[in-house]
């Protein structure tokens, strides 16, 4: 658990904030030098998400989505805006959100809110979102903060809405990355946190066709 690897919570968050402040506001910067995997990532995410947007009595709506840890809006631009009427973005780095306004282009008019905030301090508006997308950012939250944030996300869902996490998974236990001040959890730990947040897992999928040298990446849908 993160309590075993995070010695100082304040330092854990402030170091991460400082790290991202120095990262270039580009797709390559958002993906840690792996900008070339962006299309593979987006295409897989689209297929995963569309199974919930198809017709049926429990179909997830397409009115409003929230992009958490949004950066410059890579996911907002290529995944969420093509599928949802409006999108909100939240990120801790103000420069990224500023860059997003030009990066998103004309379609960016349908982004209604740019929230500059760490997820540990962010509360989605209750009963507001069809999809809350959380990608490559849960490692920047302690277990307790992640569980609490997911509880707030659950309250932020509209009927039939879903929360999606897409992130790196460790082989075993919890691994600390001192460079960007983040943790990488194994599947078992993530499952426990999801259950603790009172969320029910609907689907889980391992990302294919990513470089061998990076962590395995999994996508989870829950409500």
Spell out the residues 6+ positions from residue 121 whose beta carbon is closer than 8 angstroms to its own: none
> Which tokens sit at 92?
């801790």
Q: Beta 157-169 vs 216-222: how paired, if at all?
A: antiparallel
Inter-residue contact 165 to 217 (CB < 8 Å)? no
- Give the chain's count of helices (H) and strands (E): 8, 9
Task: Single out the residue of 85, 92, 34 nearest to residue 64, CA to CA.
Answer: 85
What residue numbers does the annotated binding site for S-adenosyl-L-methionine cover? 69, 74, 91-93, 119-120, 135
What residue numbers does the annotated binding site cover? 69, 74, 91-93, 119-120, 135
Q: Beta 157-169 vs 86-91: how paired, if at all?
A: unpaired
Task: Single out the residue of 117, 143, 146, 116 nearest to residue 134, CA to CA.
Answer: 146
Q: Collapse the DSSP code of 64 into the 3-class scheme (helix H, G, I; strand E, B; otherwise coil) and give the result.
A: strand
């Amino acid at each position: 658990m993160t309590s075993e690897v995070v010695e100082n919570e304040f330092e854990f968050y402030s170091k991460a904030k400082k790290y991202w402040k120095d990262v270039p506001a580009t797709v390559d910067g958002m993906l840690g030098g792996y900008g070339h995997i962006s299309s593979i990532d987006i295409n897989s995410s689209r297929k995963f998400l569309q199974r919930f947007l198809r017709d049926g009595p429990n179909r997830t709506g397409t009115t409003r989505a929230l992009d958490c840890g949004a950066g410059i809006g890579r996911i907002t631009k290529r995944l969420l805006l093509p599928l949802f009427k409006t999108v909100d973005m939240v990120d801790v780095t103000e420069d990224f959100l500023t860059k997003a306004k030009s990066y998103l282009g004309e379609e960016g008019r349908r982004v209604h809110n740019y929230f500059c905030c760490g997820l540990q301090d962010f509360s989605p508006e209750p009963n507001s979102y069809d999809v809350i997308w959380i990608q490559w950012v849960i490692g920047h939250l302690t277990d307790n903060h992640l569980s609490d944030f997911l509880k707030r996300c659950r309250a932020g869902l509209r009927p039939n809405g879903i929360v999606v996490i897409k992130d790196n998974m460790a082989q075993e236990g919890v691994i600390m990355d001192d460079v960007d001040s983040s943790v990488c959890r194994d599947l078992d730990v993530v499952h426990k946190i999801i259950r603790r947040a009172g969320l029910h897992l609907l689907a889980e999928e391992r990302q294919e066709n990513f470089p061998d040298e990076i962590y395995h990446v999994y996508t989870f849908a829950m409500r």
